[in-house]
Structure 1
Amino acid sequence: MTRSTERTEILVVGAGPAGSVAAALLRGQGRQVVMIEREQFPRFSIGESLLPQSMEYIEQAGLLQDVVEAGFQYKNGAAFVRGERTTQFDFRDKFSAGWGTTYQVQRADFDHVLAKGAQRLGTDLRFGHEVLAVRPGAQPEVDVRAPDGREYTVQADFVLDASGFARLLPRLLKLESPSNFPVRGAIFTHVRDHIAPEAGFDRNKILITTHPEHVDVWYWTIPFSNGCCSLGVVAEPSFFDRYPGDDLQKLQAIVGEDPNLTRLLAKAEWAVLPVRRITGYSANVSSLHGEGYALLGNAGEFLDPVFSSGVTIAFKSAQLAADCLARRYAGETVDWEAEFDAPLRHGVKAFRRFVEAWYAGGFQKIIYHPDPQPEIRRMICSILAGYAWDRDNPYVSDPSGRRLRVLEELCSA
């Protein structure tokens, strides 16, 4: 069979949040963009509670109206519960300038909205097209199989890998490197929650619950606008092995160990979405870029779901890559290490410090402290709202994490 060849300026692999925002930003620059996606949309994905910082990138990409009109659940903060201890962060009361509200989204719908928005802006969007091979270089080439079995090659000026957990280029080019996070897993589903208005559950906030006995085990409860919640528990895999039955039974048993969740979900209809499990999702790569390509979002690095940072990191990577490509097409020399890799990793490392401190228990002492200093609380709130690239925030600009450790000690006294 003869394989045809076609040309484009930018080829985006993957139509998730990173790919769609990158494509939309590049279309705003007047670039020719082809975006290929192996699956058909809408399709399920995890990562359903957005952070306000992400709204800046959606707005820059020209996709704000698409998202606002989709009818997603409004979100203005995060609530934390452990036993009798409770606290709330209102993302509008934060240290960093910028958006203080966002949405909680069913990702099947959200990702489809973004992809269709990128298509509306002129992206050549192709669902059901699978990458077979990639040859990086000054003019990279990608072999693709269409849904009808036809194979073709795309020659591009540049390739952006936004393939998410599929991690296409890291696998094909052997870029993967071990994550230094302990292996953790999540069991999750959607429930029709039937939570009464008088129950004290703020549907405008994600609820993060620490297990009553295990500081490194936590639950997410993410309310949607359709009366459902995303419900999940995160722990090391051996923790799940303590419970008999299938994953639904395990999830119900673990949720049943928390009195507040048991009360809130007393009338819930379970598993309106099939129960799912993911394990060992943290990932890293040796490099986020190479000749003719860059890695966006989860294709490059994924930390942990505890602070919902995944989509925000994906959007930030798309923005940085689009800015680099704008300079490239303007005839400038682009230092991808200094202008893409280093700034992206700076924010990722800021998130990482807080994720590690959460599981160790120290950051939870800060979160649940009964008498926080208001200005410091606003700085912490900015991190929780996704502003991990705001170097004016002392807890972002401190690469050693010393300031966070001192705060943990003060809150432990």
Structure 2
Amino acid sequence: MQDNKIYDVAIIGAGPSGAIAASILKQLGRDVIVVEKQHFPRFSIGESLLPHAMQFIEQAGLLDALINNASDMGFQFKNGAAFYRSGEHSAFDFEDKFSPGPGTTFQVKRANFDKLLADETAKKGVAIHYGVQVEQVAITDEMAALTVVDESGQTSEINAKFILDASGFGRVLPKLLDLELPSELFPRQAVFTHIKDNIPADANFDRNKILVTVHPEIEDLWYWLIPFSDGTASFGVVARPECFAEAELEQQLYDFIKQDDNLASLLADAEIIQPARKIGGYSSNVKQMYGDRFALLGNAGEFLDPVFSSGVTIAMRSAALAAELVDKQLSGETVDWSQDYQVALKKGIEVFKHFVMSWYDTSLQNIIFFQSDGSDIKPMISSILAGYAWDTNNPFVADTNRGLNILTQLCEAD
């Protein structure tokens, strides 16, 4: 890889945020290189996209490729989110929302989705190198240098004017630059797999929506069921670590299904088709999301929780925002990374964080199941569930804590 070239931008990671940033920068005329530790396709969770993410996919020039390949890749049209708790049903239609912008999206198999975005980015002329791991970073007033190692063990150096870390849970720069902080969120664990769901066509189930189910007895334990268009689905359980047993992961998933009446009925004939996986300690935070000649994108900076599927949307928004700011800086413009990037991005992240914390203390659960279809409040909540957590015209974005507190009191008074 050693070519003694100085790139405008080096990006660590070829996942959604890396592909979006690289494509936008390439459209802006920037010379970009991407290094990715793994090889695509590779399995990943975060399969239920939010409509707001479609704006960044379109901005990066990747929307046509997504739409044209959705059917062949088993991606499922998505128009909302459904919730179930001990006999209570609630559903949110993302097309009936407060904020402007797309109201539909897809539920995607991330192995295919990530590869599609990366391949389309490469077609634009972006060099993507797979099987390459970043070992060191050195930043000076003039340059940023990445020391990388390929699978043959060969070490080389990549020089760039700016680095974007899109390494996701790998959190390359936070580890190398000592930026990691513990998350404010309680540590949880997820066990998940893909299934052939075999849900009957006449079942009370909308394949166009993710189904989030609250455990009938453990209020902060929940399930996701994300259907795909080919009859398969992503299924997972999220809970405190002590809620999981020592049994094999597949058996634990089957046992949890039996504990909820609705899932037990829907998934009576479900078959696990991939080895179950487990991930814990995924919530993260950092001291800062930018520095001299670098910025952190998406999960490399802060990851909250999978409950509202916010991860990919935050990653893509951060990628689009950072790409635009990098282009300005490289053009000689003054960029205030604190206000224009970190503060701007954190506004929406904090909204999602309030929703996550309120979900686990059950106050948001009560609000979700309280909202009727005729409620004036429901479109405002729907907007945030659709990813529009930066729309300050929405009262629940402008003052999330106050809004949720008022709704909690209304629910308790009912």
- Cα deviations across residues 97-127 of structure 1 (Å, max 9, x unaligned)? 0000000011011000110111111111111
Give the structure 2 partner of residue 298 of structure 1.
299
Give the structure 1 partner of residue 160 of structure 2.
156
Question: Separation in 2 of the partners of 1:22 and 1:370?
Answer: 37
Please state how far the C-alpha of 1:370 moved relative to its aligned partner.
Answer: 5.4
In structure 2, do the counterparts of structure 1 residues 255 and 137 end up closer, same or farther at CA, with 3 Å as the change threshold? farther
Give the structure 1 partner of residue 358 of structure 2.
357
Q: Contact (CA 8 Å) 1:25, 1:60: kept in 2 or not?
A: yes
Give the structure 1 partner of residue 32 of structure 2.
33
Q: Secondary structure at the match of 1:197?
A: coil
> Are 2:266 and 1:264 aligned?
yes
Give the structure 1 partner of residue 19 of structure 2.
20
Q: Contact (CA 8 Å) 1:5, 1:152: kept in 2 or not?
A: no
Q: What is the total number of aligned residue pairs between the two structures?
A: 408
Give the structure 2 partner of residue 251 of structure 1.
253
Question: Separation in 1 of the partners of 2:300 and 2:139?
Answer: 16
Please state how far the C-alpha of 1:3 moved relative to its aligned partner.
Answer: 6.7
Q: Which runs of 5+ in 1 are unaligned?
A: none
Q: Secondary structure at the match of 1:93?
A: coil
Give the structure 2 partner of residue 194 of structure 1.
198
User: Which moves more between the two structures, 367-376 or 199-208?
Assistant: 367-376
TM-score (structure 2 length as normaliser): 0.96
Please state how far the C-alpha of 1:145 moved relative to its aligned partner.
Answer: 1.5
Letter in 1 for 2:8: E
Letter in 2 for 1:164: G
- Cα deviations across residues 79-103 of structure 1 (Å, max 9, x unaligned)? 0001110011110000000000000
Question: Separation in 1 of the partners of 2:175 and 2:406?
Answer: 40
User: Which moves more between the two structures, 248-257 or 201-210?
Assistant: 248-257
Question: Separation in 2 of the partners of 1:4 and 1:100?
Answer: 45
Q: Which runs of 5+ in 2 are unaligned?
A: none
- Please list, as runs of the form range in 1=range in 2, the aligned pairs for 1:122-201 lying within 5 A after superposition: 122-138=125-141, 139-201=143-205
Deviating runs (4+, > 2 A) in structure 1? 2-6, 146-150, 370-375
In structure 2, do the counterparts of structure 1 residues 10 and 386 end up closer, same or farther at CA, with 3 Å as the change threshold? same
> Are 2:208 and 1:204 aligned?
yes
Identity %: 49
> Are 2:224 and 1:226 aligned?
no
- Cα deviations across residues 280-326 of structure 1 (Å, max 9, x unaligned)? 11000000001010000100000000000000000010011011112
Q: Secondary structure at the match of 1:232?
A: strand
Give the structure 2 partner of residue 75 of structure 1.
78
Letter in 2 for 1:397: A
Letter in 2 for 1:143: T
Q: Contact (CA 8 Å) 1:12, 1:23: kept in 2 or not?
A: yes
Question: Separation in 2 of the partners of 1:159 and 1:3?
Answer: 17
Question: Separation in 1 of the partners of 2:214 and 2:352?
Answer: 19
Q: Contact (CA 8 Å) 1:50, 1:102: kept in 2 or not?
A: yes
Q: Contact (CA 8 Å) 1:183, 1:282: kept in 2 or not?
A: yes
- Please list, as runs of the form range in 1=range in 2, the aligned pairs for 1:385-396 lying within 5 A after superposition: 385-396=386-397
Q: Contact (CA 8 Å) 1:4, 1:152: kept in 2 or not?
A: no
Please state how far the C-alpha of 1:6 moved relative to its aligned partner.
Answer: 3.0
Q: Secondary structure at the match of 1:69?
A: helix
Give the structure 2 partner of residue 240 of structure 1.
244
- Please list, as runs of the form range in 1=range in 2, the aligned pairs for 1:271-310 lying within 5 A after superposition: 272-310=273-311
Please state how far the C-alpha of 1:146 moved relative to its aligned partner.
Answer: 2.4
Give the structure 1 partner of residue 5 of structure 2.
6
Task: Tell me the C-alpha RMSD between the 2 structures.
Answer: 1.3
Please state how far the C-alpha of 1:372 moved relative to its aligned partner.
Answer: 6.2
Letter in 2 for 1:68: I
